[in-house]
Structure 1
Amino acid sequence: MDYIDYYKILGIDKSASDSDIKKAYRKLARKYHPDLNPNDKAAELKFKQINEANEVLSNPEHRKKYDKFGKDWKHADDIERAQREQSSRQRQGYQDFSGGGQYSESDFSDFFESMFGGQGGSGFRQGRGNVQFKGQDFNAELQLNLSDVYEKHAQVLTVNGKKIRLTIPAGIENEQVIKIPGKGSPGINGGPNGDLYIKFNIVNNTKFKRYGHNLHADVDLDLYTALLGGEIMVDTFAGKVKLKVAPETQNETKVKLKGKGFPVYKKENQFGDFIITYHIKTPTKLTEKEKDLFKELQKLR
């Protein structure tokens, strides 16, 4: 994982106070907020970097670890534990237990060497597999259309140059994060691989509104059908359906079509509801005869 300079991202130096961090974050967050930069991918990335930097530097414990270990700050506890073991073994006059065999610096990752201050060939030597660490987790984002996640489908992602085939379940929510075990960075000294976390950004490319598992739609209804009742055809996500309209239907009446909504995540054959709101349209450009008829109706009422 590349080193990310959180101080540089916020435009502050390492001596910045908590107040300085807060002011810098608020200023930049306002500047790059997605609401003020619609469809600007560069601003969106910058906004995420700003939030990540603030989450680390505004937390005193995280900041302390970051200042000491840089990009490996999340492994701070493991590193310090290994350093304590190193110190203890050095005091006990520890020797290689492999029968005099020596390991070169190339036998260790940069991360492992950084734990011991880059001591390399002198001082403490650690046999392979003696201290293991889980690999770094990877984070990725995937943008899909709402119509893409109505059904389960397979997709191939390229993460750090590696192709990963995954099946995306129907019903994924916007900003939902899923974990793919073992697809992160390789482990250290035989430790387990890190995991891959994928965040989904779902773009609604339909005329329907999604709220959880339910879909909502506005349907225009002519005055005469609203008054007298009848049948209309309504678009749903799965296609058109015929719907009966009750006589004397009022404006803003809501009708629920059970099970015609969006798939429930990882629940086979379970769907939310489809909720229709009627909007009654008043006729315009009336003929003289139509006006006379409405006047007659007005007198009757």
Structure 2
Amino acid sequence: MEYKDYYKTLGVEKTATAEQIKKAYRKLARQHHPDVNPNNPESERKFKEANEANEVLSDADKRKKYDQLGADWQRYEQQGASRGPAGGRGAPGGGFDWGQYAQGGGGGSPFGDEGGDFSDFFGSIFGNMGGGGGRSARPGAGQDYQAELELSLEEAYQGGPRTITVNGKNLRLTVKPGVADGQTIRLRGQGGPGRNGGPEGALLLTFRLAPDARYARTGNDLTQDVPVDLYTALLGGEQTVATLGSPVKIKIKPETPNGTRLRLRGKGFPVYDQPGQFGDLYLRLTIALPQHLTDEEKALIGQLAALRAPAA
């Protein structure tokens, strides 16, 4: 039977702490969860492998026994294993007592066929997870649910309370300012019921931000087009600009070219989960030409054009 390297499965070192193991497992579980990858045998296999590795490495007693087995495994491979008449593995050669690893402490080979939903390798060492009825007899976390919440850019800027319905249940939550499109948060205890007294699953909530005609968002920075009339652009002046926060008064220099960009520090989007911090707001000034000119206005503009005409 092939030895399973649970540390390699989770992508951690053998010296990993319990917190590092938990973090690595959660990352793999989210990545390969059947709800995220329906009808994907490869993801299902990796999900089960991650569960099995976490079952061992997150339990101090199981991890100690597994580490001890890992240290002796090379001796098993070097000594070889005798084979019975039917071709099955018996006790390893060299007289080494592998009974110390077999579930229940009995003699003989540790390579049985138990294990429930876990591999034969797991079952031969730890049995049916300590329960007489297989894995289902052990408490387990409930299924994780997934949902989406659509917000306008302004709602994502402000944050605040929202109510969503998941599996017929109304759930009230507070959205933190600064969420991004596609960002997913995990709400513990809001998923499916646990098995055999285990904890409820989680709700994986993904935010979807509707496009906004006024602003373009890049990270925590915003860009906004601001129309400026021709006379203010030529002569200079002040103009009040509406933003997602409070209105801002800007100064426009005389002879400001079309397309000029102004940077307003700290007037952009809130930085998620960092209260009081904001990105920047970039204003792109677009010169608005006057429309429906009167004859008098046309005449005055004609005089200006003549003054600006190059000398013959």
Query: Which bin holds the TM-score, normalised by the shorter protein?
Result: 0.5 to 0.7
Q: In the alignment, what sits opposite 2:118? A: 81
| Partner SS for 2:117 | helix
1:61 equivalent to 2:21? Answer: no
Q: In the alignment, what sits opposite 2:187? A: 180
Q: Give distance in 2, aligned partners of 1:243 and 1:89.
A: 73
Q: Give distance in 1, aligned partners of 2:260 and 2:138.
A: 66
2:178 aligned to 151, 168, 171, which one?
171
Cα distance per residue 1:3-34 (max 9 Å; x no partner)? xxxxxxxxxxxxxxxxxxxxxxxxxxxxxxxx
Residue 133 of structure 2 aligns with an amino acid whose one-letter code is: Q
- Does the CA-based 8 Å contact 2:261-2:283 persist in structure 1? yes
Structure 1 runs of 4+ aligned residues shifted over 6 Å read: 63-66, 72-78, 86-90
Q: In the alignment, what sits opposite 1:230? A: 237
Cα distance per residue 1:105-131 (max 9 Å; x no partner)? xxxxxxxxxxxxxxxxxxx95399952
Cα distance, 1:244–1:266 mapped onto 2, change above 3 Å:
same
Q: In the alignment, what sits opposite 1:154? A: 161
Question: Residue 232 of structure 1: CA displacement?
Answer: 1.3
Cα distance, 1:282–1:193 mapped onto 2, change above 3 Å:
same
RMSD of the alignment, in Å? 3.7
Give the paired residue count: 212
Runs of 5+ unmatched residues, structure 1: 1-51, 67-71, 91-96, 98-123
With structure 2 as the length reference, what TM-score do the two structures score?
0.57
Q: Give distance in 1, aligned partners of 2:168 and 2:119.
A: 31
| Partner SS for 1:264 | coil
Greater RCO structure (CA 8 Å; 6+ sep):
1
Q: In the alignment, what sits opposite 1:255? A: 262
- Does the CA-based 8 Å contact 2:117-2:135 persist in structure 1? no
- Does the CA-based 8 Å contact 1:226-1:247 persist in structure 2? yes
Cα distance per residue 1:52-74 (max 9 Å; x no partner)? 999555x65236689xxxxx999
Question: Residue 87 of structure 1: CA displacement?
Answer: 12
Q: Give distance in 2, aligned partners of 1:300 and 1:244.
A: 34
Residue 144 of structure 1 aligns with an amino acid whose one-letter code is: L
1:290 equivalent to 2:301? Answer: yes
Higher deviation after alignment, 253-262 or 144-153: 144-153
With structure 1 as the length reference, what TM-score do the two structures score?
0.59
Question: Residue 266 of structure 1: CA displacement?
Answer: 0.9
Q: Give distance in 1, aligned partners of 2:197 and 2:311.
A: 89
Question: Residue 176 of structure 1: CA displacement?
Answer: 0.6
- Does the CA-based 8 Å contact 2:179-2:272 persist in structure 1? yes
